Every structure is written in C-alpha cells, then in structure tokens.
C-alpha cells in the first residue's frame, strides 16, 4: 500500500515538473494563431500543438495551435516574441522560449 502511494506521488511530481511555463508581456492587442490577446502579462504553457495563454491578472486562458520546434543553434537567452504589424494589426509569428532551443511558430 505504501509503495503504491509513493509511486503515485512520484508520477504526479513528474507530470507537474514537465508543465514548465514561460512569461510574456503583450503591449498591444495581438493576434496569435486564431485567438486575440489583450495587452498584459501572460503565462504560456504548451502540450503538443496546444499552446495555452493565461492572463496573469485575470486568470483567464485562451488556447491557440502552434508548431513546436527545436533549433540547432544556441539556447535563447530570454523568452521573446517575434511579431509583424500589418494594416494596424500586430500578429505574433513565433515565441522563442528562454533557456531552451525551443520555439513555437503560429500560422
């Protein structure tokens, strides 16, 4: 019984440890995939192609679909957004995740 409890606790700990989050700041209304982010600070998590943006002030979340890629270059120094502004609309094309070689690309 005690062994089953410890194994279950270890599995729970591993699943929580793998759910790393990254913080971003959005200065203006921005389109990410098919969702729109209002200005503010967000916590970003991802699982496969599902990318979740949680507003740190309100706690509300939205999800977008992205492509997670590993690059062969050096690790990114900081988490950063790559954006394009066209016709007055800011679109996030990519998020580089600080401390990793991982980036998330959006259509």
By 3-state DSSP, what share of the chain in percent is helix, strand and coil, each rounded to 5?
A: 15, 50, 35
Q: What is this structure's pTM? A: 0.79
- For 16-46, what is each residue's pLDDT tens digit? 444 689 999 999 999 999 999 999 999 999 9
For residue 102, pLDDT beyond 90 = yes
Instruction: For the chain, report the end-to-end CA distance as a whole number of angstroms.
Output: 49
Q: How far apart are CA 39 and CA 16, in angstroms?
A: 28
Average pLDDT over residues 92-100: 96
**81, 24 contact by CB (below 8 A):** yes
Residue 81 φ/ψ region, left for φ over 0, alpha for ψ in the -120 to 50 degree band, beta for the rest = beta
Specify burial of residue 64 (Cβ count, 10 A radius: 0-12, 13-18, 19+): buried
């Amino acid at each position: 019984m005690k062994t089953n409890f410890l194994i279950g606790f270890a599995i729970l700990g591993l699943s929580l440890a793998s759910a790393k989050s990254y913080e971003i700041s959005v200065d203006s209304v921005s389109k990410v995939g098919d969702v729109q982010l209002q200005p503010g600070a967000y916590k970003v998590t991802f699982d496969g192609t599902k990318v979740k943006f949680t507003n740190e002030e309100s706690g509300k979340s939205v999800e977008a679909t992205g492509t997670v890629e590993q690059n062969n270059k050096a690790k990114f120094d900081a988490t950063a957004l790559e954006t394009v502004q066209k016709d007055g609309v800011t679109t996030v094309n990519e998020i580089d995740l600080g401390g990793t070689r991982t980036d998330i690309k959006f259509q």
